[in-house]
Amino acid sequence: MTAPALDRDPADVETPAEGVQDVETPADETTSPDAATDDAAPGVPAQGRRDDAPAPAADEESGPTFADLGLRPEVLRALSALGYEEPTPIQAESIRPLLAGHDLLGQAATGTGKTAAFALPLLEKIPAGGGRRPVGLVLVPTRELALQVSEAITTYGKQLGARVLAVYGGTPIGRQLRELERGVDIVVATPGRAIDHIGRGTLPLAAVQTVVLDEADEMLDMGFAEDIEEILSAAPQERQTVLFSATMPPRIDRIARKHLNQPVRISIAKKRTAEGEAPQVRQTAYVVGRQHKVAALGRILDLEQPTAAIVFCRTREEVDTITERLGARGYRAEALHGGMGQEQRDKVVSRLRAGAAQLLIATDVAARGLDVEQLSHVVNFDVPAAPESYVHRIGRVGRAGREGVALTLAEPRERRQLSVIERVAGAPIAVAPLPTVADLRAHRLQETRAAVAGALDGDRAELDEVRGVLDALLAEHGAEEVALAALRLAHRAQGAVDDQEIPAADTRPRAGVGRDSGPRGRDSRDSRGPASRGGRPGARTGPAAGNAKLFVGVGRRAGVRPGDLVGAIANESPVSGRDIGAIEITERFSLVEVPESAADDVVAALRGSTIKGRKAMVRRDRDEPAS
């Protein structure tokens, strides 16, 4: 049977893994764990939870409850205490085959409840009283997601006494070693740190019954393909393998064909917008030159007035700059990036959830897996290099029936990438002109009018408090002049309006510049060694324009491969795998090109981490002779 190929170009369609069973279900808004977010923090009410919803009419067909799925009584009690009653479609379709022991390949958009879909069956594997060795291993792309998934599983398995450990890089390994020594039931790990523990012999896989790959497409984008292969090869052959992904590119099918045994394939189709109905997520792009992007962002936010928004940036430097500029503009903006400690990150997210902050300016790595119920806008300060990243980002708004807005600032050279993203996302992205000074002034005047109209419709007693002032003014001036002066003061109280127009972006093609050339083009990004730029192997060449070359003190002798370096950088720093340039690996050291603007952040992020189980010196290259 040929599986439907969702979100992919027809030319890219491959035959699915042999023996795959297809189940395609339309997404809906049922109430369950993770209904509002794949990785919702435990205890956060899911959007759409129906504690006080009326019972369905007698002629309505009701879906299964968690009690119908055959889960342990302890798990059902935990779900009931959280207020969860009905599983989402991905949960309803996945839990039964997983409990029956089948391998599974699941595709569903972010926010449909994938975490509970694999977490609840995993808890069924835990023996009474627990054991010393883990029975479940969950692989996730980032440490933030590792923490959130482990917290969710711990919450669902609270009455079982489930021992769940998050294992990730960028933090001292000592506590993880101690917890593994004491014994854990389920390990949630990033691939790099999992390989580290497997190499040390501290993460035994002999008792593992189920391996889950969560956000598999994201892990592949971050360069973890070789690590995933190594981990799956080290796991017991007689095991259950579960793969969940928001998108299903051909390489996911290749992993399924190799490592999954006659899997059930479940594809939760996106809820389609009815003809003539507005889309759930309004997607808009603005074309603007790079030097004017921060000013354009501020003006767009002034017009949009988001309840709460995440602005995604590529580097920590961008995060800090934009946070400062938007703060000066009057926004309550908070930064979130990989250079911050976990406690500091938690405080930032808590302020956003509590409404104490309006904007979260973040790198992809830091914001992965976050869910904020009141989030109304997602902003891409740059066009994401991977269309799948765009899909993941905009999936944070428009959940469970809410409307959302996705905005993207595109440089002229990124227009073509927008077309690619449109095909993958399956929805048009309207390219709108940047708001002008006149647009902003008109908007501010409309706000003033609305504020005054609201006061007139409000409590008359509050108006009577200033009646004496009005009477005194009317004794000296006309009523119209008094009203105009009061409106002017109210309008000025909203703050100053930009008085400079943002120049229109030059969209004309530049001579000699192809779509894949330049420091972030495909040629430089995918090259993996100096030979790709015409140099002989072993010869030290300068970095591509806009890039910096880093020296990493481990090489072939330590078993380092390009994927190890890409994975370490992408997981520990704000640089994505797609932005890493040429990699050269010698016997004793390696050279890696990264964007110049993020070089110091990468050096700082890798300073406390390990690569292939070794602590490596990382610094900017000083052109030592190659060995």
100: helix, strand or coil: coil
Side chain identity at residue 37, one-letter code: T
Most confident of 87-91, 120-124, 156-160, 254-258: 120-124
291: helix, strand or coil: helix
Q: What is the DSSP letter of 11?
A: G
Flag whether 8 is in a domain.
no
Q: In the structure encoding, which two tokens stand for residue 264, read together?
A: 């059930």
Provide the pLDDT confidence category of residue 627 given band limits of 50, 70 and 90: very low
Last residue of one domain, picked from the residues 212, 247, 269:
269
Last residue of one domain, picked from the residues 246, 269, 292:
269
Task: Answer yes or no: are the C-beta atoms of 374 and 308 closer than 8 Å.
Answer: yes
Q: What is the CATH number of the domain that holds 584?
A: 3.30.70.330
For residues 458 and 530, state if they share a domain. Answer: no
Q: Count CA atoms closer than 13 A to 518's CA, side-chain side.
A: 12
Q: In the structure encoding, which two tokens stand for residue 81, read together?
A: 């205490």
For residues 418 and 407, state if they share a domain. Answer: yes
pLDDT in tens, 24-63: 444 444 445 654 344 333 333 333 333 333 333 333 345 6
Say how many C-beta atoms besides its own lie within 10 A of residue 526's C-beta.
Answer: 13
Beta bridge partners of 24: 267
Distances (CA, A) of 24 to 2, 21, 124, 256: 13, 10, 25, 18
Total domains in the fold of the chain: 4
C-alpha 75/C-alpha 65 separation (Å) is 13
Flag whether 506 is in a domain.
no
Provide the pLDDT confidence category of residue 76 given band limits of 50, 70 and 90: very high
Q: Which residues contact 126 (CB under 8 A, 6 or more apart)?
A: 135, 136, 157, 160, 162, 185, 186
Percentage of the chain with pLDDT > 70?
76
Domain that holds residue 328: 281-437
What interhelical angle do 562-572 and 191-200 show, nearest 10?
Answer: 120
Flag whether 512 is in a domain.
no
pLDDT in tens, 317-358: 889 899 998 988 888 999 988 778 778 888 888 888 888 899
C-alpha 198/C-alpha 196 separation (Å) is 6
Angle at 71 between CA 70 and CA 73, to 5 degrees: 115
Sign of torsion, CA 37 357 146 229?
Answer: positive
pLDDT in tens, 207-251: 999 999 998 888 887 778 889 999 999 999 999 999 998 778 888
pLDDT in tens, 285-329: 999 988 889 989 999 998 888 989 999 998 888 898 999 989 888
C-alpha 425/C-alpha 404 separation (Å) is 15
Q: Would you state the pLDDT for residue 277?
A: 43
Distances (CA, A) of 351 to 206, 335, 360, 579: 43, 11, 10, 31
User: 0.85 cut: is pTM over it?
Assistant: no
Q: Would you state the pLDDT for residue 594?
A: 87
Flag whether 497 is in a domain.
no
For residues 208 and 85, state if they share a domain. Answer: yes
Arithmetic mean of pLDDT over the chain = 76
Flag whether 51 is in a domain.
no
Flag whether 605 is in a domain.
yes
For residues 212 and 74, state if they share a domain. Answer: yes
C-alpha 332/C-alpha 346 separation (Å) is 17
Q: What is the CATH number of the domain that holds 339?
A: 3.40.50.300
Q: Count CA atoms closer than 13 A to 230's CA, side-chain side.
A: 18
For residues 424 and 369, state if they share a domain. Answer: yes
Distances (CA, A) of 566 to 224, 320, 573, 590: 8, 24, 11, 12
Q: Which residues contact 77 (CB under 8 A, 6 or more apart)?
A: 159
For residues 361 and 406, state if they share a domain. Answer: yes
Residue, of 90 and 577, whose pLDDT is higher: 90
pLDDT in tens, 437-495: 787 777 777 777 777 777 777 777 777 778 888 888 888 888 888 788 877 777 666 65
Say how many C-beta atoms besides its own lie within 10 A of residue 616's C-beta.
Answer: 21
Task: Answer yes or no: are the C-beta atoms of 230 and 567 closer than 8 Å.
Answer: no
C-alpha 135/C-alpha 137 separation (Å) is 7
| CA neighbor of 366 nearest in space, from 394, 386, 387, 340 | 340
Q: In the structure encoding, which two tokens stand for residue 356, read together?
A: 């104490």
Q: Would you state the pLDDT for residue 491?
A: 66
| CA neighbor of 249 nearest in space, from 219, 212, 287 | 219
What is the strand order of the sheet 583-585 is part of? Answer: 583-585, 590-595, 547-552, 618-620
For residues 263 and 285, state if they share a domain. Answer: no
Query: In 201-259, where does DSSP find H-type helix?
Result: 216-221, 225-234, 250-259
Percentage of the chain with pLDDT > 90?
25
Strand residues in 472-608 grouped as ranges (E): 547-552, 583-585, 590-595
Flag whether 588 is in a domain.
yes
User: By mean pLDDT, which of 154-168, 179-193, 249-263, 436-450 is the weakest?
Assistant: 436-450
Distances (CA, A) of 137 to 34, 235, 361: 20, 9, 32
Residue, of 353 and 118, whose pLDDT is higher: 118
For residues 87 and 212, state if they share a domain. Answer: yes
For residues 261 and 316, state if they share a domain. Answer: no
Last residue of one domain, picked from the residues 420, 437, 454:
437
Q: What is the DSSP letter of 248?
A: -
Flag whether 589 is in a domain.
yes
C-alpha 286/C-alpha 18 separation (Å) is 44
For residues 191 and 221, state if they share a domain. Answer: yes
For residues 301 and 398, state if they share a domain. Answer: yes
DSSP string, 481-506: HHHHHHHHHHHHTT-----SPPPPP-
For residues 158 and 91, state if they share a domain. Answer: yes
520: helix, strand or coil: coil
CB burial of 552-588 (b: ≥16 within 10 Å; e: otherwise) equals: bebbeebebbbbbbbbbbbbbbbbbbbbbbbbbbeee
Angle at 359 between CA 354 and CA 360, to 5 degrees: 90
Q: Would you state the pLDDT for residue 466?
A: 80
Distances (CA, A) of 70 to 62, 83, 112: 17, 18, 21
Q: What is the DSSP letter of 133?
A: S
Side chain identity at residue 390, one-letter code: Y
C-alpha 502/C-alpha 136 separation (Å) is 54
Distances (CA, A) of 502 to 65, 311, 435: 55, 20, 9
